[in-house]
Structure 1
Amino acid sequence: MIGRIHGTLLERKAPELLIDVQGVGYEVLVSLNTFFDLPVPGQTVTLHTHFVVREDVQQLYGFADTVERELFRSLIRVSGVGPKMALAILSGMTAADFAHSVQHNDTATLVRLPGIGKKTAERLIVEMRDRLNHFSTDSADFSLTGQAGRQTDTVREAESALIALGYKPQEAARMITAVASEGQSSQELIRLALKSMVKS
């Protein structure tokens, strides 16, 4: 099991990273919450990790802190929830927002996340309620920051990130268009688009 990775961030394209550790490049998948907390390429990064091994794939998932990793591990133990869906949940809302939805039986918010239907949302609430009791949700709220670029590039990057989460291309474009204004970074666009889905 690889539990932690520390090295130089070489590439970042949500939700994938390439991290150099003493000459070995590790491909790591991260949630958007963790992605927005990353430094620029060339700087050192440390992530807590979870290594998934299956017959057809070996994938390393990275997390900004142990709270997010613990929630990820709890999510993939829920029937019908795999690593991809767990990462989409952690990208679409903070751990604190997820805990709030579970504790208040808020299936309406959960079904707005890509790949989650009503039955899956109900199963998440039932199976996760007891597991969330020990989470300190105050520390699970991540800040979303980033640098602005040219508007066309930021819109394209934001749409690509939403598509990687599971949204259809037309839906991703519609979500970004609805919140886009001059001077926003791709991180801000994604954050606003996801917030609009949760609140709508």
Structure 2
Amino acid sequence: MIGRLSGTVLEKNPPQILLDVGGIGYEVDVPMSTFYHLPALGEPVVLHTHLAVREDGHFLYGFFSVEERAAFRQLIKVSGIGARTALAVLSGLSVNDLAQAVALQETARIVKVPGIGKKTAERLVLELKDKLGKALPHTGATLTATAPGAPADDRSDILNALMALGYNEKEALRATKDLPPDTGVSVGIREALKVLAKV
């Protein structure tokens, strides 16, 4: 099991990044909450990882915090929730928001995530009710999404990231139409997700 990677960021193609660890390039899928925290290309980063072994290959998922990874591992245990959907949940809701939604049985907050219907949200709340809080390490860490601005041509990367999360092109375009032209990828994705969460 690969539980942690410490290396240099070579590429960012949300939701996937390429991480150079000792000369080996690891393709790692990350939720947008982790993507916001990534340093610039060529800079070092440490990710807590989850390795999934399936018939069609080995897949690595990376997280900025152990809390995110713990939540991811609980999510993929829920019937009907795959890794891609779990990443989408963590991209649309912080770990604290997810835990709160589960504790208060607020399925309405969860169905706003692409790929999550009412029945899946109800099953998720039911199955995680007594598990999520216990599974999360209580480190006292709170994540705040901050990211520097980037060139205007990053707009296509923002759209691609939103569509990779399950939104269609029309929804992605609507969510990004009011973004300032100099909005960077990380900030743009975060702001677009806020707009989509209000719909």
| Equivalent-residue separation in structure 1 for 2:192 and 2:23 (angstroms) | 37
| Equivalent-residue separation in structure 1 for 2:5 and 2:196 (angstroms) | 33
TM-score, normalised to structure 2, is 0.92
Change in Cα spacing, 1:197 to 1:103, as seen in structure 2 (3 Å) is farther
Residue identity in the other structure for 1:150: P
| Equivalent-residue separation in structure 2 for 1:160 and 1:149 (angstroms) | 16
Q: Which residue number in structure 2 is paired with residue 101 of structure 1?
A: 101
Q: Which residue number in structure 1 is paired with residue 92 of structure 2?
A: 92
| Equivalent-residue separation in structure 2 for 1:91 and 1:12 (angstroms) | 16
Q: Unmatched 5+ residue regions in structure 1? A: none
* Aligned residues: CA RMSD: 1.8
**Is the 2:36–2:187 contact (alpha carbons within 8 Å) kept by the matching residues of 1?**
no
TM-score, normalised to structure 1, is 0.92
* Match status 1:75 vs 2:114: no
Which residues in structure 2 correspond to 1:29-44 (within 5 Å)?
29-44=29-44
| Equivalent-residue separation in structure 2 for 1:182 and 1:104 (angstroms) | 39
* Match status 1:171 vs 2:171: yes
Q: Which residue number in structure 2 is paired with residue 128 of structure 1?
A: 128
| Equivalent-residue separation in structure 1 for 2:138 and 2:176 (angstroms) | 28
Q: Which residue number in structure 1 is paired with residue 185 of structure 2?
A: 186
Aligned length: 198
* Match status 1:146 vs 2:147: yes
| Equivalent-residue separation in structure 1 for 2:40 and 2:159 (angstroms) | 20
Cα deviation for residue 140 of structure 1 reads: 6.1
1:75-103 deviation line (CA, Å, top 9, x unaligned) = 00000001000011011110111111112
Cα deviation for residue 71 of structure 1 reads: 0.5
Q: Equivalent pairs: percent with the same residue?
A: 45
Change in Cα spacing, 1:14 to 1:141, as seen in structure 2 (3 Å) is farther
Cα deviation for residue 33 of structure 1 reads: 0.7
Deviating more after overlay: 140-149 vs 103-112:
140-149
Q: Which residue number in structure 1 is paired with residue 119 of structure 2?
A: 119
* Match status 1:198 vs 2:170: no
Higher helix share: 1
Residue identity in the other structure for 2:94: T
Cα deviation for residue 184 of structure 1 reads: 2.7
Deviating more after overlay: 4-13 vs 80-89:
4-13
Name the SS of the counterpart of 1:130 in structure 2: coil
Name the SS of the counterpart of 2:167 in structure 1: coil
Cα deviation for residue 24 of structure 1 reads: 0.9
